[in-house]
Structure 1
Amino acid sequence: MAAVDTPEDAAFRNEIRTWLESNLTGRFAELRGLGGSGREHEAFEERLEWNRHLAAEGWTCVGWPVEHGGRGLSLRQQVIFHEEYARADAPARVNHLGEELLGPTLIALGTPEQQARFLPGIRNVTELWCQGYSEPGAGSDLANVSTRAELAEGRWVINGQKVWTSLAQQAQWCFVVARTGDGARKHDGLSYLLVPMDQPGVEVRPILQLTHTSEFNEVFFTDAATEADLVVGEVGGGWRVAMATLGFERGVSTLAQQIAFRRELDDVVQTARELGSIEDPLICDRIVRAEIGLEVLRQHALRTLGGEQGADASVAKLLWAQWHRGLGELAMAVRGGTGLTVAEPPYELDDQQTLFLFSRADTIYGGSDEIQRNVIAERVLGLPKEPRA
């Protein structure tokens, strides 16, 4: 993908930049910068209102085909939209899982009936989604999921537990990978189900994190149910659908993520200047390495967008997770002992402390680094599979 805007792209960049300047005003101006990683609890209802304002103005689902309610933007224009959104310091959107993950999955693999039922609610931000993948015994190894679903009287009856489920407490629906049969391989017999959260058989338990927030949750399914036709793809073909969703997760929005990373890095550098720690050769070297690493992230993303998100997606996850965790460690090194304390009541963490603590999880969620390295080793380098007990 070209790194320089064409005249048409430049005009589109100016359009979205102007719109954001005109609309991030009044009550919405107070939302700037809210809701990032580790801070999803911030002003949730207000950010939901902002998301619905975006929808009313046609600025949700911009990459979806026009026939499904999107803008049908080119890949380059999608990148521009996400870049400008991040540069404007606009609040984190509450509908990422529906808009960026499930919606494209339904467009690619769902039935016309499923598309008609669910895409409008995602586009209008009237139905929110969470992701039911990880389990206590199957974090990044989806083939080991044990949550089961059995077909009875025209409905799937679901029993099991999911964990690390982001924003489950706000979602109306969950896309769940469950075992509906058995096969010669662990990948066989999985199905991808769309499950309503507001029912007696679903219990959500927030998980208290190091940051004292609870974006992640445990979700327990006890004879929870969903309709028989709410399986995406073929029954038993859920592995393929789940992998498609993960590919969409690592798409164009990752470039906006990198602009947020740039803002965090700039903040760390400014702190280093103010405290004088930038004069330390070791700190200065780490800052330079962080600058280089961020450019590597961008170039890799630009090079791989639009292609099959196979091993490239695993490389991208490894790159950004390691980089971001390292940035949190750098932030604390820059501040020294002052990074270990909070100044005054109510003793809340500041942005850099939140960055450090929350980024400890970056190498785990979304596919742990160990799993990503196995994917690269086996599918790219052709190495033998890791022995499993």
Structure 2
Amino acid sequence: MSENRKKLLYITDQEEYTDHGTIGPLFNGYLKNYCDVYIVYFTKYKNSFQAKGTDYVIPEQYKQEICRYLDVKDVDLASFDFVFVRNMISVLSDVQNNKEKYGFKVGFRASYAKTEEAQEARKAENKANIFKTLGTVYRKYKQDKLIKRCDLFMPTSKNLENEFFANSGVKSFPLPAGLDPARITPHRESDGKERHFIYVGTLDSLRQFEDILIAFAKVKSDNWHLNISTFNPDFAKIVMGRYPTICNKVTIMEAENLNLLMKQVDDCDVGIAILPDKAIYNTTVPAKIMDYYTCAIPALLTDNAKNRTLFSDEDALFCKFDIDSMAKKIEEIIDMTQEDIAKMGHAGQNKLLSHKRNYEIMAKELFQELESL
């Protein structure tokens, strides 16, 4: 590593070998063209520290004393110009408490409104009560206080910042999900006569995933197949057990890495990224759509203002998040020609690459922002 280059330590909330979001392509990829980047991952499965090149793998139990732990393991924190934390408020607190000791600048990456999403999830599962609500208020107060002390705040979008992190007073540099130019592929027609849909992500009550299944069950046409790629396939199988009329039309799969996920997406025609009308979802464009447009397959999106700021009817599919609307839209998609679907997928892919949804461009602009701190 060059002695003249700036050094950045990025403490993620992800496990080892993750390809999640901006971590792989931006921080562990294109940003390394401009500065030396070291990534911290946490693991539940190992009890010892591991240094693998510029990656550090740390047992999860040391999260809240991360600086002391790295110091003991001879990681020279004073050599870093910047230390970034992703989503974890307890880790941010420890980093802030050590900022003056080591002399680095602190950045906080908010990929979603974590505190608010947890509260919304409790409401969706009827687990909210006054004590948990008060706990959420306290965590929000602590979070805001810590963010105010940062040198740089990196929300997923300006809308997310305005809705959930307003009045922080911190220099802001939104980092939305984007495309990796090295991974993009042209649209490939799926095999067979059926229209192949894919849903990538979490299946839970907050996202109301079962409403999507009910919509598919209402579709009159039999000319479709749905692939579900999730980190929890066993739970997906339990969910599908409640829909015996369509279980033979659904394939559940798991992607152990990004290469496998991209193959799963490439095998399909249309990606599903429609989400309920909730503030936590209406302030950012779903990250999973980047997986879809990487393979030039168009996404089915919630018809809201945020999605419409980036996409149009020429490059995406829109509908309201209600069962009848989704069923009707699925039938319309089944009736589309392969040529129209491919045209829409390529249009969206080209738009994202030409805009600032390109990790190569974003890395250069983030480095310029770091230089100005």
TM-score, structure 2 normalization = 0.26
Greater helix content: 1
- Structure having the higher strand fraction is 2
Q: Relative contact order (alpha carbons < 8 A, sep ≥ 6): 1 or 2 greater?
A: 2
